[in-house]
Chains A and B, each alone.
Chain A
Amino acid sequence: MSEAGTFDTVRRGLSLSPELRSGLAGTVGLAVLQMSGRVAVPIAVQQGIDHGINGPSGPDPAVVAVVVALTLAALAISTLCGYLMTRRLFTVSETALGGLRSRTFRHIHDLSMLHQQSERRGSMVSRVTGDVDQISQFLQTGGVQLLLAGGQLIVSTVVMFAYSWQLTVVVLLSFGPAIGVIRFFQKRLAGAYRTVRERTGVMLGAVAESVVGATVIRAFGVSGRTARRLDTAVDDLRTAQQRAMRTSVLSFSSGEISAGLALSGVVVAGVLLGVDGDLTVGRLTAFLFLVTLFIQPVQIATEQLNEAQNAVAGWRRILDVLDVDPDVADPDDEGVELPAGPLSVRFDDVSFRYPGGPMVLSDVDLTLDARRKYAVVGETGSGKTTFAKLLTRLMDPAEGTVLLSGTPLTGVRFSSLRSRVVMVPQDGFLFDATVAENIRFAEPSLTDDQLRTAFTELGLGDWLAGLPAGLETAVGERGESLSVGERQLVALVRAYVADPDLLVLDEATSAVDPATEVRLQYALDLVTRGRTTVAIAHRLSTAESADEVIVVDAGRVVQRGPHARLVAEPDSIYAKLYASWLEQTR
């Protein structure tokens, strides 16, 4: 796909934003009217000279005044048309491209988690910002000029033919090689601009990393290294820009040279024709001016075609994203609702591997009953988070099926799935907003009182009251104005108010102090009674309080059962884990 041709890209780009075509005829009409104003002035000069200044009875100011007045009127109309045209163009193109930004943004969110992670955030951001800007810049300046140049090209060719077909052939022949050259450069230019857009994305990624990791960079005193990497990204972009510029200028100069060829060709051929008596001096002179009229739009067109490649590169990058199918897709209308009531879970011979990696989960075959609380434990990297992601359909298994209350997950409508199944991920992310807004992210309709009640129910009322501005406390970017444990508290309350039937906690309280965690655990058990809960934890206190424990080791479920029974299985993985937990905490 990525090597799709220019025209293909433009065609598809345009079909993405059908709004662009609305009123196109009107816009072009206005542009033509504006252009004709440019022609009015030379005509006025000629008319004024022929009839007013060189008039039969000497210079006649009255005639000139009439001509000037008429031309001024024409100029006024042209200016007005220019205003209307620009206004229309901006309104239409910005509206269409705004739509494109929104659509791309939405599509990126609809992509599967793994796809999202396969691309750097800076690069994704540039797809809804800079890449779109490239298109709008072209549409607002180059696009119309390109259309008009095309028109002028056709008109002047026709008129040239009327004057002398032989000379016209000479002109067309001298531009022949240029067309080949320009086509050649267009290809390279397409690649060059693509590189520019890509490196812009890389640069943004590098900047983002240096900003997000600012504290680590400082703590390790490695700003020199980071600066070097940033410089490389910045300079790579500059080299790419310069390369594109060089190619564009080369391509442009081929048109310029053809103009010289055409002009001298016309003189030579014209003289030869004239000597044979086929041409008069007047006609040749007129033709030479016509050639200029022909050359001008060719130059504009070359220039704008070059600019167009920049826009095409932007379009292509957007198409590249839009062309990726959300492989973990919402079945939407074809999907079903989850059955009402608490949810049970079934993993039917599920295996999973990350793209290009080894098996991370193998043959997981497991049933979790509704209304019970499960703890998933295991060493780091054993596959617990992977299990949770499959359970919440952030990913689809490579083999096997995940079912909720008997319904295969792939057939469940997202609107139903996401409101009934909620996960608190390992790194609870908060938005740069207030505590209240972050909680309302899960349930926008909640009143302040309901929010407070939620905190109180989880035993966090005191903590909330201790915040400088209570619910209205700003949490900062990614929640960084709160301590890490506090962030987890907010993320947990957020999941709690979503009121799910299946709650998945991936080390949701790993940074919270033991006393608070125990209290929270207790409160959570009370309020989530009657729902299904799956909690992943390294702190085995969670496992002790669960109805059942599932032990994962190297991607397989090796043990399951109530805590008391598993501990008693001698030499089992869980028994060892628990022994060391006891040793560590007592």
Chain B
Amino acid sequence: MTSGTGNDVLVRGLRVLGRAIRTEPRLFTISAIGSSFFGFLIIANSYVVGAVIGRVVVPAFSERRVSSGGLALTCAVLLGISGLRVASIWARRLGAGFMQFRLQARYRRAVTRRYLALPPEWHQRHATGTLLSNASSDVEAAFAPIAPLPFAVGTIVMIAGALVALFLTDWVLALVGVALFPALFALNFFYSRRMAPRQIHAQRMRAKVAAVAHESFDGALVVKTMGREADESRRFGVFVTELRDALVAVGRLRGVFDPLMESLPSVGTLAVLLIGTWRLQSGAITVTELISVAFLFTVLAFPVRAIGWVVGELPRSVAGWERVQAVLAAEGDLSYGTGDLPGTGPAELRFDRVDYRYADGPPVLSDVTFTVPAGTTVALVGATGSGKSTIAALAMRLVDPESGSVSLDDVKLPDLSAPALAAATGLVPQIPFVFDDTVRGNVALDRPEIDDDAVRAALRLAQAEGFVSALPDGLDTEVGERGTSLSGGQRQRLTLARALAGRPRLLVLDDATSAVDPRVEAAILGALRESGTSLLVVAYRRASIALADLVVYLHQGRVVATGTHTELMDSQPGYRDLVTAYEKADQ
């Protein structure tokens, strides 16, 4: 989607700027006016200094007498101008800065909204580190030219004024100016064209470095236990070196551009001097006019660089913008219906001839059909990798089937609205995910209907009350990022309580008690059964399975048999081997 070349990068960059201006017109106007006013004051200042010398200093020196009124006025004017300059700087700087920060914040919000809206499948295809840099350094890069933009706009206003002044003075000299500006433009054009691929590459490397760092810190424990710190550093070092090379390549080009951009107006000044002398000889202009034109070019030399700053940032801006756009434009959202789930109490879950595969992998589920009748407990049993978690994800509509349908109480899941679906179902995932929050926050998740009593009741049901009350601040204890300050089993029970607190009409437990003692597991399942909700449980322990009204036996993505535990024990040798493995091992 991002073209590697920079043919029209200038155009694309200007389009980004245009978009930015349209988004924050007020702040932009303030800062552009401030900047233009600032330019005006610079010119005014030199006139005032001239006037002060002519009208105050010279008379005073010749008359050897001070007019205190004149001096006071001079001071007032000079201080007044500097006050106005301060005001214009405030307008320009604060306007530009606030505009930049607001744009960054706005797009960060937009990007993270997309992260929340895009389905798990999309997330799986994008590394966390990359998504992190989309929301941080890419957004930053996209709006980097905003800071010098008003200054550049002020400069353009100044240049326009200067050109008018030039034409009023002498058309030949004006032509020098007219020739200079296309040269500036051409320089900028060639620069951004050559720079774009380098900036895009650098931005990509930046994201890569962030991604590698993120993954490596994520796996820090494995790195440590395997003693691979040196190798990880070497792996990281490779990308760091590549980033360095990319940035040095950027620097080399800037090394060409910046000084040229700075010298070009000076060349203009020199041309004015040469041509001006000739015009002077032919009597077309006066010495004063020549001097003021030369002065004008000198004054312009510095602000013109502001245009360079903006253009210099454009390729990086385009690179960042396109990476941001890729997120904003990403498709594949699950569209939700508007329906509510009728009725109350336990709901019936039905899988009807469901096929599923991940991306372009092999089929993971084929023709899966089963029902969890309302208010019953169904155990899902199958070997490692047979597709149990995939079924759990389909039941929650985290993904949609390739063909076939999943429905709750005869309503197809895609017809349900997102809140209705979330309220009706609860999932305890196989790997507990704990938020960087308090115990209460993790259980309640700000769901309005869940008060402290409900949180406590859920913790009790999940057999988590004991350890929570032993925590230093009870419900208010912060559990750390991903719950690092809890033991594995504690994390699991916390996520269990989270699902229970919502009183879902269908609860799916994906091997949610693996880190819990057998006794505790039995207690939890018993209590759940009593609560009367529909339960789909991925389990291996025989007692848990025996609690189930029905067992669905899954083998390599197919439902091989459905029946009671006893029936399956009799009829399915594979099933028998699976659930009696421990006893067999003893013999």
The reply to whether A414 and B488 form a contact with Cβ atoms under 8 Å apart is no
Q: Which residue of B lies closest to A536 (CB)?
A: B488
Stretch at the interface among A160-168, A177-185, A264-272: A264-272
With A98-B240, A275-B66, A584-B521 given, can you name 11 additional A-B contacts, CB distance below 8 Å? A41-B270, A42-B298, A90-B247, A98-B244, A106-B229, A220-B498, A263-B82, A272-B66, A442-B226, A514-B540, A584-B542
A-B pairs with the 6 shortest C-beta distances?
A: A221-B422, A418-B227, A90-B251, A260-B82, A380-B489, A82-B259
Q: Given the complex of chains A and B, what is the CA–CA distance between A80 and B259 in angstroms?
A: 8
Question: Which residues from chain A contact B136 at a C-beta distance below 8 Å?
Answer: 126, 130, 200, 203-204, 207
For chain B, residues 552 to 585, give those with C-beta under 8 angstroms from any C-beta of chain A: 577-579, 581-585
Proximity bits, B106-130, A CB within 8 Å = 1, else 0: 0011001101110110011001110
Q: Given the complex of chains A and B, what is the CA–CA distance between A44 and B294 in angstroms?
A: 11
The reply to whether B398 and A218 form a contact with Cβ atoms under 8 Å apart is yes
Contact A425-B225, Cβ < 8 Å, known A45-B298, A129-B210, A256-B85: yes
The reply to whether A444 and B231 form a contact with Cβ atoms under 8 Å apart is yes
Q: Which of A94, A211, A441, A545 has its CB near the most chain B CB atoms (within 10 A)?
A: A211
Contact A78-B259, Cβ < 8 Å, known A90-B248, A234-B108: yes
For chain B, residues 265 to 312, give those with C-beta under 8 angstroms from any C-beta of chain A: 266-267, 269-270, 273-274, 276-278, 280-281, 287, 290-291, 294-295, 298, 301
The reply to whether B215 and A423 form a contact with Cβ atoms under 8 Å apart is no
Question: Which residues from chain A contact B366 at a C-beta distance below 8 Å?
Answer: none
Q: Does B484 contact A (CB under 8 A)?
A: yes
For chain B, residues 407 to 429, give those with C-beta under 8 angstroms from any C-beta of chain A: 418-419, 421-423, 425-427, 429
Q: Does A402 contact B (CB under 8 A)?
A: no
The reply to whether B487 and A381 form a contact with Cβ atoms under 8 Å apart is yes
Stretch at the interface among A6-14, A149-157, A476-484: A476-484
Q: Does B522 contact A (CB under 8 A)?
A: yes
Contact A209-B435, Cβ < 8 Å, known A218-B120, A234-B112, A284-B57: yes
Q: Given the complex of chains A and B, what is the CA–CA distance between A209 and B482 in angstroms?
A: 8
Stretch at the interface among B17-25, B169-177, B370-378, B508-516: B508-516
For chain A, residues 191 to 235, give those with C-beta under 8 angstroms from any C-beta of chain B: 200, 203-205, 207-228, 230-231, 234-235
SS class, residues of chain A in contact with chain B: helix
26 chain-A/chain-B pairs, Cβ below 8 angstroms: A61-B277, A68-B270, A75-B270, A84-B255, A94-B251, A116-B220, A120-B481, A122-B214, A124-B217, A212-B128, A214-B116, A223-B117, A241-B97, A245-B98, A260-B85, A285-B53, A380-B487, A380-B490, A426-B515, A463-B385, A518-B584, A541-B585, A577-B517, A580-B522, A584-B522, A585-B543
Q: Which residue of A lies closest to B103 (CB)?
A: A238
Q: Does A86 contact B (CB under 8 A)?
A: yes
The reply to whether B518 and A583 form a contact with Cβ atoms under 8 Å apart is yes
The reply to whether A125 and B385 form a contact with Cβ atoms under 8 Å apart is no
Question: Which residues from chain B contact A285 at a C-beta distance below 8 Å?
Answer: 53, 57
The reply to whether A117 and B82 form a contact with Cβ atoms under 8 Å apart is no
Question: Which residues from chain A contact B267 at a C-beta distance below 8 Å?
Answer: 72, 75
Stretch at the interface among B4-12, B72-80, B453-461, B528-536: B72-80
The reply to whether A271 and B384 form a contact with Cβ atoms under 8 Å apart is no
Question: Which residues from chain B contact A272 at a C-beta distance below 8 Å?
Answer: 66
Q: Does A344 contact B (CB under 8 A)?
A: no
The reply to whether A380 and B85 form a contact with Cβ atoms under 8 Å apart is no
Contact A108-B90, Cβ < 8 Å, known A125-B210, A281-B61, A538-B514: no
The reply to whether A226 and B116 form a contact with Cβ atoms under 8 Å apart is yes
Proximity bits, A59-80, B CB within 8 Å = 1, else 0: 1110011011001100100111
Question: Which residues from chain A contact B383 at a C-beta distance below 8 Å?
Answer: 513, 515-516
Number of B residues near A (Cβ < 8 Å) is 183
Q: Does A448 contact B (CB under 8 A)?
A: no
Proximity bits, A263-301, B CB within 8 Å = 1, else 0: 110011011101101001100110010000000000000
For chain B, residues 202 to 232, give those with C-beta under 8 angstroms from any C-beta of chain A: 206, 209-210, 213-232
Q: Given the complex of chains A and B, what is the CA–CA distance between A581 and B583 in angstroms?
A: 11
Number of A residues near B (Cβ < 8 Å) is 191
SS class, residues of chain B in contact with chain A: helix
Q: Does B132 contact A (CB under 8 A)?
A: yes
Question: Which residues from chain A contact B446 at a C-beta distance below 8 Å?
Answer: 222, 224-225, 228
The reply to whether B258 and A86 form a contact with Cβ atoms under 8 Å apart is yes
Chain B nearest Cβ from A546, distance in angstroms: 13
Q: Given the complex of chains A and B, what is the CA–CA distance between A107 and B147 in angstroms?
A: 35
Q: Does B369 contact A (CB under 8 A)?
A: no
Q: Does B361 contact A (CB under 8 A)?
A: yes
Q: Given the complex of chains A and B, what is the CA–CA distance between A60 and B277 in angstroms?
A: 7
Question: Which residues from chain A contact B480 at a C-beta distance below 8 Å?
Answer: 117
Question: Which residues from chain B contact A431 at a C-beta distance below 8 Å?
Answer: 215, 219
The reply to whether A211 and B490 form a contact with Cβ atoms under 8 Å apart is no
Q: Does B396 contact A (CB under 8 A)?
A: yes
Q: Which of A95, A249, A480, A513 has its CB near the most chain B CB atoms (within 10 A)?
A: A513
Which residue from B58, B256, B287, B541 sits with its C-beta under 8 Å from A54? B287
Q: Given the complex of chains A and B, what is the CA–CA distance between A577 and B518 in angstroms?
A: 8
Q: Given the complex of chains A and B, what is the CA–CA distance between A49 and B75 in angstroms?
A: 32
Stretch at the interface among A312-320, A449-457, A504-512: A504-512
Question: Which residues from chain B contact A493 at a C-beta distance below 8 Å?
Answer: none
Question: Which residues from chain A contact B449 at a C-beta distance below 8 Å?
Answer: none
Q: Given the complex of chains A and B, what is the CA–CA distance between A339 and B388 in angstroms?
A: 46
The reply to whether B101 and A275 form a contact with Cβ atoms under 8 Å apart is no
Q: Given the complex of chains A and B, what is the CA–CA distance between A200 and B226 in angstroms?
A: 31
The reply to whether A87 and B213 form a contact with Cβ atoms under 8 Å apart is no
Which residue from B79, B206, B522 sits with its C-beta under 8 Å from A129? B206
Q: Which of B214, B290, B492 has its CB near the most chain A CB atoms (within 10 A)?
A: B214
Q: Does B163 contact A (CB under 8 A)?
A: no
Q: Which residue of A lies closest to B445 (CB)?
A: A222
Q: Does B254 contact A (CB under 8 A)?
A: yes
Q: Given the complex of chains A and B, what is the CA–CA distance between A489 and B383 in angstroms?
A: 13
Which residue from A245, A246, A468, A583 sits with its C-beta under 8 Å from B362? A468
Chain B nearest Cβ from A445, distance in angstroms: 12
Q: Does B431 contact A (CB under 8 A)?
A: yes
Which residue from B57, B132, B230 sits with its C-beta under 8 Å from A204? B132
The reply to whether B61 and A53 form a contact with Cβ atoms under 8 Å apart is no
Q: Given the complex of chains A and B, what is the CA–CA distance between A280 and B56 in angstroms?
A: 13
Q: Given the complex of chains A and B, what is the CA–CA distance between A421 and B126 in angstroms?
A: 34
Q: Does A472 contact B (CB under 8 A)?
A: no
The reply to whether A275 and B515 form a contact with Cβ atoms under 8 Å apart is no
Proximity bits, B61-88, A CB within 8 Å = 1, else 0: 1001110000100110011011101100
Q: Does A572 contact B (CB under 8 A)?
A: no
Q: Does A52 contact B (CB under 8 A)?
A: yes
Question: Which residues from chain B contact A173 at a C-beta distance below 8 Å?
Answer: none
Q: Which of A60, A241, A261 has its CB near the most chain B CB atoms (within 10 A)?
A: A241
Q: Given the complex of chains A and B, what is the CA–CA distance between A495 and B126 in angstroms?
A: 28
Contact A381-B263, Cβ < 8 Å, known A253-B86, A477-B124: no
Contact A98-B481, Cβ < 8 Å, known A85-B255, A113-B224, A264-B74: no
For chain A, residues 354 to 391, give those with C-beta under 8 angstroms from any C-beta of chain B: 354, 356-357, 379-381, 385
Chain A nearest Cβ from B351, distance in angstroms: 17
Which residue from A67, A98, A214 sits with its C-beta under 8 Å from B273? A67
The reply to whether B277 and A53 form a contact with Cβ atoms under 8 Å apart is yes
Contact A91-B248, Cβ < 8 Å, known A245-B101, A481-B358: yes
Which residue from B56, B61, B384, B419 sits with its C-beta under 8 Å from A516? B384
Q: Which residue of B lies closest to A100 (CB)?
A: B240
Question: Which residues from chain A contact B389 at a C-beta distance below 8 Å?
Answer: 483-484
Chain A nearest Cβ from B277, distance in angstroms: 5
Contact A515-B577, Cβ < 8 Å, known A235-B105, A354-B485: yes
Proximity bits, B135-162, A CB within 8 Å = 1, else 0: 1110000000000000000000000000
Which residue from A59, A200, A274 sits with its C-beta under 8 Å from B277? A59
The reply to whether A259 and B82 form a contact with Cβ atoms under 8 Å apart is yes
